[in-house]
Structures are given as C-alpha cells and as structure tokens.
Chains A and B, each alone.
Chain A
Amino acid sequence: MTIAHEEHAATAADTASYGDFIRHHMREYGILIALVVIMGFFQIVTGGVLLKPVNLTNLVLQNSYIIIMAVGMLLVIVAGHIDLSVGSVCGFVGAVAAVLMVQYGYDFVTASAICLAVGAVIGAAQGYWVAYYRIPSFIVTLAGMLVFKGLALGLLEGRSIGPFPREFQLLASGFIPDFIGSGPFNQFSMAIGIVTAVVLLWMAVRSRNQALKYGNVDEPFAVFVVKHAAIAFAILYLTWLMSAFRGLPNVLIVMALLISVYTFITTRTTLGRRIYALGGNENAAKLSGINTQRLTFLTFVNMGILSALAGLVFAARLNTATPKAGLGFELDVIAAVFIGGASMSGGIGTVVGAVVGAFIMGVMNNGMSILGIGIDWQQVIKGLVLLAAVIFDVYNKTKA
C-alpha cells in the first residue's frame, strides 16, 4: 500500500514539477532574465549601439574591476561580513604599482606580484581583527577605507603618476593576439569562444547524466535544454561580436578564469561549503568542527588579493594612478552582490549571481550614458534597481 501511495505521489510530482521548479528557482533565473531584458531594452532605445562590437568590448573593460571584486565580496558577504575598504584598497594598490613601476623602474611582473602580496597583507590585517577579535567587519573595514584612502593620497603626494610600461597596460587594454588568422576578424578569439561553449555544454550533459544515474534530477529536461542552448548561444554571439572588433580582451580571460575557479570553489568544494555554513549559522558550523575564525580570516585575505588585482587592472586601464582611483567602488561592488541575490545576513548567494548583478549595473551605466542621461538620474535609477532587486528577494522568501 505504501508503494502504491509513493507511486501516486511521484506522478503528482511530475505534473507539478514545471511550475514548482520555476517557482523554486525564480531568483536564479529571474536575475538572468532581468539582465537579458535590460540589455534588450537598451539595445533598442540606443538604436543598436549597446551591442556594437566596440561598445561591448568597452562594457567588459569598464566593469572588469567591479566584477573581480564582486567575486571576492560575494565570499565575504556569504560568510556574514562586509568589506567597505575595497575601493580604497584598489586605489592604494594602484598607487603602489605606479610608484614601483614608474618611479623605481620595477618590471611589471615583479611589481604586480608585490602589489598582490600587499593586497593579501591588507586583507589579513583587516581579517585578523574581524576573525580573531570579533570586531564587526563594518567598523574594521570602514577604518580601512579611511586609512587606505589616506595612504594612497600620501603615497602619490596628491599627484597622478603615470604612464605605465607598455606591457602592463596590456593587462587592461590588450587583446588576445590572433594566432590562427590574420584578417580583421580575430579567428583565435572565436575559436576560444567555440571551445568554451562546447566544453560548458559537455560538462552540463555529463553532470546531468551522472545525476540521472543517482536519480536526483529536479530540473525538467526542457528547462535544461533551453537554458544551456541559450548560454551557448550567448557565448558564441558575444564572442563573434568581439572577434569582429579586435578579439577577446585579456582582462575578459582573467575574469572568466576567476569566475570559473570561484564558482567551482563555492559549489563543489568543502571549503566553499564551509563558508556557506559559517554564514548560515556560525555556532552550528563551529560545533561541527569547522575552524570558523581561520575561514573568516581567509575570506578577507582573498578579498584583499582580489581588490589588489582590481586595482592593477584599473590603474592599467587609466594608464595612471590617481588619488581619486577607486572612489566609491565598494558601493558598486556591494550593490552587485546584493542584486545578485546574496543575503545580508550571510549564508546565501552565488558567484554567477554576483557577476550578473555587476553586469546589470554595468549595462545600465553604459546604456544610460549612451542615451545621455545625466549622472544625477543614473544614480537615482541604480539605487532604485538595487532596492527593487532586494524587495523582490524578500518577497520571494516570504511567499515560499
């Protein structure tokens, strides 16, 4: 009798699954759909300028440093903290890079390595107080924000320093050279795009097959097909556009690597699982044998390194280090993470969500600039979008 009952339940579940599945994953898909809608909207109102190869490339370059930091910030926020100092750290590291390369003539590899190490030390210095002395991260990093803003100013003596060596500039403004063809269309970049799309598809199919073997698939087949077809199409289309301009930007490759590595860490490794548990319930995590203090410390070290990387990219892009570099970046970064579905109280959020959140902000900035909307209204609209995204989240949660 129980078996019959279960069978009945199973068929009921099958018919209900589409609706249920979409409802349960509303947030994940919602944000992607929002990005597509926003892109579509600006594509139309800007008369097709948004997705012009040159603008698309700009879009990536303009937002690269925000995205790099958003990945680190996601971990910090999932762990239940916040880092307000990232903008200042970004600017400070840019200043360090300028001093090293321009004034002392270090080569760009050594200088970059030193800068990343400086970022790690800064993250460690802040994380130490948060993790081991339980000083609220809001306070520690607010202090850090002031300290590093001041240090950057002091280091540059109030001036701008530049230009950087040519090789260093390539980090932010260079493109993947075309190893295959020689025409205006960057065939090698296109090849990378194709390979990426194929690998992603292959991985998706493999993991679905494996999960099927264990009988734990909740994603309906149609959703699976549509989703991955759309992703593959988007990758191919966007690479094609960029290949037609100058190829894939170097920094896009850096970003793609970071996003894949951190997605893997957060979803597949014990390290990632521990960070989510720490943010979800620190007490329970601690009593499950997780070294919560060290983990908190490490998320801040990681944030410091990624802020430093972002600082390098930004300095390379401007080709100069200015005292004003990094000003207000922390707000864009934090907004991106929350738009991407992370929870203020920790334990919830995804890397992909944060990246999509950053792109939503980026596309809006870009689109509104093309339309000639003033910076005043841009701020207002961005603020409202952030609020709306979080309201949508909370509404979804109470309904579920």
Chain B
Amino acid sequence: MQPILEMRGITKTFPGVKALDNVSISVGYGEIHAVVGENGAGKSTLMKVLSGVYPHGSYEGSIRFEGEERSFRHIRDSEDLGIIIIHQELALVPLLSIAENIFLGNEVQTRGVINWPETYARTEELLARVGLKEAPRTLVTQLGAGKQQLVEIAKALSKRVKLLILDEPTSSLNETDSDALLDLLLEFKRKGISSILISHKLNEVSKVADKITVLRDGASISVADARARTVTEAEIIRDMVGRPLTDRFPPREAAIGPTVFEVRNWTAHHPIHIRRKVVDDVSFKVARGEVVGIAGLMGAGRTELAMSIFGRSYGEGISGEVLVGGEPADTSTVARAIRSGLCYVTEDRKTFGLVLDETIRRNIPLANLGGISSGGVIDDNEEMAVATRYRDRLRIKSTSVEQKTLNLSGGNQQKVVLSKWLYANPEVLILDEPTRGIDVGAKYEIYTIINELAASGKGVVFISSEMPELLGMCDRILVMSEGRFVGELAAADASQEKIMHMILNANGE
C-alpha cells in the first residue's frame, strides 16, 4: 500500500549550516513512526519543513502526501490537509476555556457570530474521544500539563487530523499521564490516524512505535521496523550518538563520608490554600560523597520540598530544621541558603535558571558576584577567566563565552546553570530534573559531572521523574508521595516496580 506521507531527499541549509542533508522518511497509513535523535539532529527542522513553516522552495526535496506532490507555503496549507503538529511548548491560551481553545481560529460560526451551543456540544464529543473528563467551559489554566496535552490533541482532532505530529509530548508529563497519552496514540492508530512521535524517551518509543527513524547531524542514519523485529534501546542509542554507548550511566564508586546535610521535620504549606500541607514532616540526611535520589510522581511535592528549603522560595508556614555540616543553617533567604552551602538547580532552566538575554560569561558568576569583585566593583578580566575556566571544564559547546545563553542547546544551557552553582562552591547540591529535555550524550556528561562532584565530597540530592536515571545514579532513593516520604531504598535493591509499589501503597492507605 502507498504510504500516507513520503518525504524524499530533503535538504535544508541555513547560512553556514546544513540542518538537513538528504533526509527521507515515509509514514504508512495507521502507522506510528518515531523520530529520534539528539538535540540539534534536525528533528524539529524536518517537521517544520513538513508543516510549511519553512515554505516550499526554501528547501530541496519533495513531499508527497496521500499520493500527491505537495508544496506547502504556510502551516495553514498543511493543516487543511490534516497534518497537525503539537509542539513541545503547548500553544494554548491559559485564560480561555477548553472549548474556546479547541476552536480558536476555527470557530463554529456564521458570519462572525459564534454558535456557542454547537461549540460546546462538539467540544464534549472531542473530549470524550481523547478521554478527558472536564467541562468544555473549564479554563485551560486550571488543568495540569497532562490534561492540557489532551486538549491540544482534541484540537487536532477538531481539524480532522490524518497525520498527527507530536514533538516531545510527554517531556512534562508524569508516568501515568504519559501512559494515557501513548494509549491514545495506539487508539488513533486503530482508527487509521498516522502519527509521527518525536521523543527522547526511548522506552516510550519502543512501546508504541511501528517504525523508528534515527536522525543524526541532519542525516537519516537508520530506519528500523519494530513490527518485524524487536529494536533494542542500545541499538537506537548507538545510532543516535554514533558510537555504542555501552553504559548509559558512568560508573561510580561511592566513597560515603560523614553526614553533610540534614533536614528535620520539614513542613511547608501551599501558598494560596494555606491549610494544605504540600510537604509534610519530611526528614532526611545526605552524607558527603553520596547521591540521594528523590523519586515520586508529578505533584508529589519534590520540587516544593527543595524550593522551600532553598531560601523559602516556595510555600507558606514553613517549619523544620536544616543542618549543614552538623551546624544549624539559616536558609530563610536564598542569599543565606547559598552562604550556608546549599544550591538548587531548578527543573526549569529557562524560567528560573538563566538570564537568557545575557552571555555565558555574565550568567556564570551570578550566584557569586562577590568572587569576581572587590568592594562591589567587578573585575572584568577575572570574570572572563572564571567563565572560560568553567566553559572548558564542563565542555560547554559555544562559539565563545560571549555567546548568549538563549542560543545554546538544552544540554549546554544546563551546563551553564551547573557552572553558576559550582562557582558558588556549595557543600550540598539539590538537582531538580537536571537532565530534562537533554539528549543522551549530554545526559551522560551531566551524570559524569555529578559523579565528580560527589567524589569531591559534596552531598547531592537528585530529584528526577525518570526512574532509570535514579536507579543508575543514586546510592539511596527516597520515595515521596503526597508530600511525605513513603519509603527508602538502597540502590542495590531498588527497582522501578518497588518504587511504584511504595507510591501506590501509600496512596491506597
């Protein structure tokens, strides 16, 4: 049978860079086609060519959709044919309702007057199809990330989608929501809708994909048919990074020292619903040289725990004790928390970690401006030396330290954030999803840095939603659920199943 989509010999050049080099891809009817590759491999560019963001004529090669040669000039052209992209950063208007969002730009109307009864009726129908039990009038801002994703998909369905393209759809979802989304894709497949799934999460890819295309440096490296045979993750990773990655985690030999960080009876309340405890009587210890993981579902209170400790950056009515190196530490403001030897690497580097309009050089010393100045006057040359040192040490890929952090890839941005905190010379690092949205190669580098830090006697708290990562990196894993610690596992006898059990049992109580 003819494929629904065939892209042949796509080559797209930007000034000085060949973003895509003779890439071909073919997607069959009712097929889930995964496209994987490191950041910068050309996945997004390929999808932009397909959807008409880069208009016909700005690239070489041909696109055939439903058996006909197509030349899209706008996104509108591809959408009219049923090619719908759902971007990583959701494009919903938070203060409009679900129904308004779904039909935004495509309103049910006669001569500019909206037919609301019809709009709501059709919204309900669409929500039922994606399995979202919410009223059409609910504002999008009241929904969690998982439900918002479903609204996006309902929006795609409203446009009579034939080929659904999902760009990192699960990167901000927890395990349950991700599973629901993947099931939905399988459901669509049965109804004959094809999908292209772009993802970093290889376990998801192997779960649902019929075919897997690996892109590297703008070229298609391999196409594997997962229906014909089992495609292993190792195989995919090898194609992605261009070398066999025998181990996804660097080896670590834990040299555990005395306790460096201790939290006693930590409690924090929700900033708006003051009575709700978001963190409930949590106590834990971290030793020098130890990496302690905190596992849990989205909303378990892990980020809230970290941020409430770090300068009370989150929550109200906070109580409890923090000890650093055995001494009670004052962490009531961020500046004091830093002074007592803590640092917190945020889960959202763009919003909370970097000044994106500023250069690498100006971002790195931001948490320790005292180090490059005397009497409040900055020594430019010292600043330059510091920035260069960390750029080399963490191998931040950039043209120079004068490059704006906005233009760096996710992994390199994260390295700048890490540099900033390393330069503040903390005793304890709290890392919140440090590898989110980062490709496999850069992840490995970040892991290596974490191991080096632990080896140098720092205490590391590692918060992550990716369980394999916790299992591969931590000496001990604390399991958090609904604001409380519900279990602790030594790395040796931890497994994903055990962690999930602990969470589920705690919820069942």
Does B420 reach chain A (CB closer than 8 Å)?
A: yes
Contacts of B384 in A (CB 8 A): 214, 216
| Contact A286–B378 (Cβ < 8 Å) | no
Query: A291–B333 Cα gap in the complex (Å)?
Result: 9
| Contact A347–B378 (Cβ < 8 Å) | no
| Contact B380–A270 (Cβ < 8 Å) | no
- Knowing A287-B313, A288-B366, the reply to whether A268 touches B357 (Cβ < 8 A) is no
Does A171 reach chain B (CB closer than 8 Å)?
A: no
In the complex, what's the smallest C-beta–C-beta distance from B101 to chain A, in angstroms? 26
Comparing B131-139, B223-231, B369-377, B489-497, the segment that makes contact with chain A is B369-377
Comparing B40-48, B290-298, B347-355, the segment that makes contact with chain A is B347-355
Contacts of B402 in A (CB 8 A): 218
Does A210 reach chain B (CB closer than 8 Å)?
A: yes
Does A283 reach chain B (CB closer than 8 Å)?
A: yes
| Contact B366–A277 (Cβ < 8 Å) | yes
| Contact A289–B338 (Cβ < 8 Å) | yes
**Which of B356, B366, B381, B420 makes the CB contact (< 8 A) with A210?**
B381
Contacts of A216 in B (CB 8 A): 381, 384
Query: A271–B313 Cα gap in the complex (Å)?
Result: 22
| Contact A273–B334 (Cβ < 8 Å) | no
- Knowing A218-B402, A277-B355, the reply to whether A270 touches B376 (Cβ < 8 A) is yes
B3-61 residues at the A interface, CB under 8 angstroms: none
Closest to B349 in A: A284
**Which of B337, B344, B351, B373 makes the CB contact (< 8 A) with A270?**
B373
| Contact A291–B352 (Cβ < 8 Å) | no
- Knowing A211-B381, A214-B384, A269-B376, the reply to whether A274 touches B355 (Cβ < 8 A) is no
**Which of A207, A218, A270, A283 makes the CB contact (< 8 A) with B370?**
A270
A282-308 residues at the B interface, CB under 8 angstroms: 283-291
| Contact A214–B385 (Cβ < 8 Å) | yes
Closest to B345 in A: A287
A interface majority secondary structure: helix
- Knowing A214-B385, A270-B370, A274-B369, the reply to whether A281 touches B356 (Cβ < 8 A) is yes
Query: A210–B424 Cα gap in the complex (Å)?
Result: 26
Contacts of A348 in B (CB 8 A): 357
| Contact B378–A270 (Cβ < 8 Å) | yes
| Contact A285–B355 (Cβ < 8 Å) | yes
> How many A-B Cβ pairs are below 8 Å?
88
Contacts of B354 in A (CB 8 A): 281, 284
**Which of A211, A269, A284 makes the CB contact (< 8 A) with B378?**
A269
Closest to A214 in B: B381
Does B335 reach chain A (CB closer than 8 Å)?
A: yes
Query: A300–B353 Cα gap in the complex (Å)?
Result: 26
Closest to B380 in A: A211
Query: A285–B365 Cα gap in the complex (Å)?
Result: 11
Query: A216–B381 Cα gap in the complex (Å)?
Result: 8
Query: A63–B402 Cα gap in the complex (Å)?
Result: 36
In the complex, what's the smallest C-beta–C-beta distance from A208 to chain B, in angstroms? 11
| Contact B378–A287 (Cβ < 8 Å) | no
Does B422 reach chain A (CB closer than 8 Å)?
A: no
Does B358 reach chain A (CB closer than 8 Å)?
A: yes
Does B459 reach chain A (CB closer than 8 Å)?
A: no
Contacts of B377 in A (CB 8 A): 268-270
Does A276 reach chain B (CB closer than 8 Å)?
A: yes
Most interface-central of B333, B337, B357 (chain A CB within 10 A): B357
In the complex, what's the smallest C-beta–C-beta distance from A24 to chain B, in angstroms? 9
| Contact B358–A280 (Cβ < 8 Å) | yes
A185-221 residues at the B interface, CB under 8 angstroms: 207, 210-211, 213-214, 216, 218
| Contact A286–B313 (Cβ < 8 Å) | yes
- Knowing A284-B352, A285-B355, A287-B352, the reply to whether A273 touches B338 (Cβ < 8 A) is no
Interface string of B314-344 (1 = CB under 8 A from A): 0000000000000000000111011000001
Does B311 reach chain A (CB closer than 8 Å)?
A: yes
**Which of B334, B356, B357, B370 makes the CB contact (< 8 A) with A286?**
B334
Closest to B373 in A: A270
Contacts of A271 in B (CB 8 A): 376
Contacts of B436 in A (CB 8 A): none
In the complex, what's the smallest C-beta–C-beta distance from A251 to chain B, in angstroms? 28
Query: A97–B369 Cα gap in the complex (Å)?
Result: 41
A331-390 residues at the B interface, CB under 8 angstroms: 343, 347-348
Contacts of A268 in B (CB 8 A): 377-378, 380
Contacts of A274 in B (CB 8 A): 369
In the complex, what's the smallest C-beta–C-beta distance from B461 to chain A, in angstroms? 16
Query: A284–B313 Cα gap in the complex (Å)?
Result: 11
Query: A291–B353 Cα gap in the complex (Å)?
Result: 16
| Contact B313–A280 (Cβ < 8 Å) | no
Contacts of A285 in B (CB 8 A): 355, 366
Query: A207–B352 Cα gap in the complex (Å)?
Result: 34
In the complex, what's the smallest C-beta–C-beta distance from B314 to chain A, in angstroms? 11
B415-452 residues at the A interface, CB under 8 angstroms: 420, 424
Closest to B388 in A: A216
| Contact A277–B358 (Cβ < 8 Å) | yes
A247-273 residues at the B interface, CB under 8 angstroms: 268-271, 273
Closest to B370 in A: A270
**Which of B358, B369, B370 makes the CB contact (< 8 A) with A347?**
B358
In the complex, what's the smallest C-beta–C-beta distance from B312 to chain A, in angstroms? 11
Closest to B404 in A: A400
Closest to B385 in A: A214
| Contact A289–B311 (Cβ < 8 Å) | yes
Does B362 reach chain A (CB closer than 8 Å)?
A: yes
| Contact A273–B352 (Cβ < 8 Å) | no
| Contact A291–B335 (Cβ < 8 Å) | yes
| Contact A273–B385 (Cβ < 8 Å) | no
Contacts of A281 in B (CB 8 A): 351, 354-357
| Contact B352–A283 (Cβ < 8 Å) | yes
Does B346 reach chain A (CB closer than 8 Å)?
A: yes
Contacts of A347 in B (CB 8 A): 355, 357-358
Interface string of A207-239 (1 = CB under 8 A from B): 100110110101000000000000000000000
Does B263 reach chain A (CB closer than 8 Å)?
A: no
In the complex, what's the smallest C-beta–C-beta distance from A179 to chain B, in angstroms? 32
| Contact A288–B381 (Cβ < 8 Å) | no
Does B96 reach chain A (CB closer than 8 Å)?
A: no
In the complex, what's the smallest C-beta–C-beta distance from B306 to chain A, in angstroms? 11
Closest to A277 in B: B355
Does B145 reach chain A (CB closer than 8 Å)?
A: no
Contacts of A280 in B (CB 8 A): 355-358
Does B173 reach chain A (CB closer than 8 Å)?
A: no
| Contact B369–A270 (Cβ < 8 Å) | yes
Query: A290–B366 Cα gap in the complex (Å)?
Result: 9
Most interface-central of B352, B373, B420 (chain A CB within 10 A): B352
Contacts of A343 in B (CB 8 A): 357
Contacts A210-B381, A287-B310 given; 7 further ones with Cβ under 8 A? A269-B378, A270-B369, A270-B373, A271-B376, A281-B351, A289-B424, A343-B357
Q: Which 4 A-B pairs have the closest CB atoms?
A: A280-B355, A289-B335, A270-B369, A288-B367
29 contacts between A and B (CB under 8 A): A207-B380, A210-B381, A211-B380, A213-B381, A214-B385, A218-B402, A269-B377, A271-B376, A273-B369, A276-B355, A276-B358, A280-B355, A280-B358, A281-B355, A283-B352, A284-B351, A284-B353, A284-B355, A284-B366, A285-B355, A286-B313, A286-B334, A287-B310, A287-B334, A287-B344, A288-B420, A289-B367, A291-B333, A291-B335
